């Protein structure tokens, strides 16, 4: 079992990183959070989750890489939920930072989870029910900088998440975008998505 891979980052896209270690290039599927964390580095260490599918016509062996243990732990928790597959779990982790995801789950914010592509209301509710106690456990909380964050007060999560998603598609990093969106919506909670995006574009560096 592979715990982590350390080596030279030879290629990277928002969804995949290639890390060369001892002459072997490992292709690892990554989230946007991990992409943001490693994109400008030459040497990286990625914590690995191995997904092995056997018994069918198309057996597969896929590696998923995470810049932080906390993100890998959240990924492993997410794929235990019925209706959440590997790609959906990665989509969730590309839409939230680990701390934000923990806050959404522990705060019962099904609307925020439902805004992720591929997540319906029932799946969002199931994620909250299945993982609420697990993500607030001391072990996972200690891995997150500052612990499990509390949901932002007076912030329209639906508008915020839609705006962050739009900026991410434009090439901006999700974590800084989310922070700026939160500040804008705390000051002007009635703004529409397009208004928030326009303001954010003037503030994000």
The Cβ of residue 54 has, within 10 Å, a number of other Cβ atoms equal to 8
Higher-scoring residue by pLDDT: 187, 150: 187
More confident residue, 158 or 128: 128
| Whole-structure pTM value | 0.69
Say how far apart CA 141 and CA 32 lie, in whole Å.
21
pLDDT for the residue 149: 47
Percentage, residues of the chain above pLDDT 70: 85
H or E stretch covering 33: helix 32-38
* C-alpha triplet 89, 70, 159: angle, nearest 5°: 55
Over residues 171-190, the pLDDT tens digits come to 777 767 777 887 888 888 88
Residues shown for the chain: 205
Q: Please, how many CA atoms are within 13 Å of residue 138, restricted to the half-sphere of its CB?
A: 0
Out of 52-56, 64-68, 162-166, give the one with best mean pLDDT. 64-68
Residue written as token pair 């922070």: 179
Evaluate if residue 156 carries a pLDDT over 60. Answer: yes
Contact 35, 12 (CB under 8 A): yes
Q: In angstroms, rounded to a whole number, what is the distance separating the alpha carbons of residues 109 and 101?
A: 10
Assess whether pLDDT exceeds 90 at residue 87: no
Where helices occur in 49-205 by DSSP H, the ranges are 69-78, 86-95, 98-106, 110-114, 121-135, 138-143, 157-169, 174-187, 193-203
Task: Select from 158, 160, 166, 173 the least CA-distant residue to 204.
Answer: 173
């Amino acid at each position: 079992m592979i715990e982590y891979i350390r080596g030279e980052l030879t290629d990277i896209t928002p969804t995949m990183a290639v890390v060369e270690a001892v002459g072997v290039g490992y292709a690892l599927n990554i989230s946007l959070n991990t992409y943001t964390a490693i994109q400008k580095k030459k040497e990286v260490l990625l914590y690995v989750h191995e997904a092995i599918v056997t018994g069918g016509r198309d057996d597969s062996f896929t590696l998923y890489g995470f810049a932080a243990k906390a993100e890998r732990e959240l990924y492993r928790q997410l794929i235990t939920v019925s209706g959440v597959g590997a790609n959906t779990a990665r989509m969730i982790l590309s839409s939230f930072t680990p701390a934000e995801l923990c806050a959404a789950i522990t705060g019962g914010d099904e609307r925020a989870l439902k805004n992720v592509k591929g997540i319906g209301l029932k799946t969002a509710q199931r994620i909250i029910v299945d993982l609420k106690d697990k993500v607030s456990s001391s072990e996972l909380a200690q891995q997150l900088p500052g612990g499990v964050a509390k949901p932002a007060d007076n912030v329209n999560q639906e508008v915020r998440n839609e705006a962050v998603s739009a900026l991410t598609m434009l090439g901006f990093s999700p974590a800084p975008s989310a922070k700026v969106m939160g500040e804008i919506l705390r000051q002007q909670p009635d703004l529409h998505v397009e208004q928030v995006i326009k303001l954010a574009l003037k503030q994000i560096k």
